[in-house]
Amino acid sequence: MGRGFLLMLLLIALPAAAQIYKYTDANGNTAYSNQPPDGVKAQPVELPPLNSVAPSAPPAAPVEASSREQPRHAYEVLELTGLPTTEALRANNGTFTVNVLIKPRLQGPHQFRLLLDEQPYGQPSNVPILQLVNVDRGEHSLAVQVISGEDVIQQSPSVTFTVQRVHTP
């Protein structure tokens, strides 16, 4: 076997941080070791840095789920926008719209359902602009759910707002 091959085997077998020494043995052959031999002049071998690749995580095994079980967070972003939270919402007849910010976009059979004061409100829809009609004046909470049939997939944080209705004589 060639000396280069033996050197490669030695380099592969040693830990990455080990020092390699080159020396001439009693028979005049060039030899390599991770420890300098006693009484023999040995030279440290400068090795190029090793290329290393971090091992990738094995792919997760698919989880067998029944049709009623959904991922805990199917959407990265799900929130209501368009509602004032620091001042009253002026809606003379209590009618206004809210927008749903969702990422990624709504999937397949999923629909939006509003929760007004923690109760389902209106009909489910797949349009991210939802209308509320004739909401009483005062403070309310509003959230949006993503549903599939009657199953709740995910729910947005609740937003508290105040409706101010001005009645004209």
For residue 151, give the nearest of 118, 132, 124 by alpha carbon.
Answer: 124
Do residues 136 and 94 make contact, with C-beta atoms less than 8 angstroms apart?
yes
31 & 82 share domain: no
**pLDDT at residue number 12:** 54
Range of the domain at 11: 3-45
Residue 22 domain-assigned? yes
Task: Note down pLDDT in tens along the chain; length 169 residues.
Answer: 555 555 555 555 555 555 677 778 778 887 777 777 777 787 777 766 555 555 655 655 555 444 444 445 689 999 998 877 777 877 778 888 889 999 999 988 999 999 999 999 999 999 998 888 888 888 999 999 999 998 999 999 999 988 887 765 5
Number of domains forming the structure of the chain: 2
20 and 86 both lie in a single domain: no
- 134 part of a folded domain: yes
Q: Is residue 31 part of a domain?
A: yes
